[in-house]
Amino acid sequence: MNNAVFDPIAGIANERDAVRVFIDVLRREQHALQQADVSVLLSLAAEKASHAQQLAELAQAREQWLAVPDSLEDQGDMECRLADHPTAAMAWQELLQLTETAHQINEINGILVNQRLRYNRQRLSALQAAARGLHDNGLYGANGQPQIFSGGRRLGEI
């Protein structure tokens, strides 16, 4: 979009609605992480990426309209531009609140991902240690088949 065709009322309302949809995806992701339902995480990641791309495009159109880089950090300019558009100004305030909500949910999801990753690494380490222990005790042969230890001394033992 260029500055001539950007409609602040429709554009900001569309962006606000897109953030609402994005929050829904984040909440579903959070639920899947809490329930350890990894089967849906891959599809949610793809859906999340698609919505993030859409949000980036909507924000870019708005920023072009403002002709100010990083306009989200300078909310005063946006509020001045929307002074004549009360509906858009209200949608802008909602958009800011929703963006903060999305950020908070995404932060929590990141914590949940890190917890799950730490948990999986610990379990993997335990399994690897157990596998090394079984191999070191001679319970499995070099071919991976069980081998019965017949007693006596092992090589290297006194």
Tens digit of each residue's pLDDT (9 = 90 or more) over 117-155? 998 898 888 887 777 665 555 566 677 776 665 555 555
What range does the domain containing 27 cover? 8-136
User: Quick count: other Cβ atoms within 10 Å of Cβ 116?
Assistant: 15
Instruction: Give the confidence band of 1 by pLDDT, cuts at 50, 70, 90.
Output: very low
Domain-located, residue 129: yes
pTM as predicted: 0.73
Instruction: Give the confidence band of 90 by pLDDT, cuts at 50, 70, 90.
Output: very high
The residue to which tokens 């005063």 are assigned: 76
Domain-located, residue 154: no
Domain count across the chain: 1
Which pair of tokens denotes residue 65? 């309209």
Contact 33/116 with Cβ under 8 angstroms? yes
More confident residue, 97 or 7: 97
Fill in the amino acid letter for 50.
Answer: S
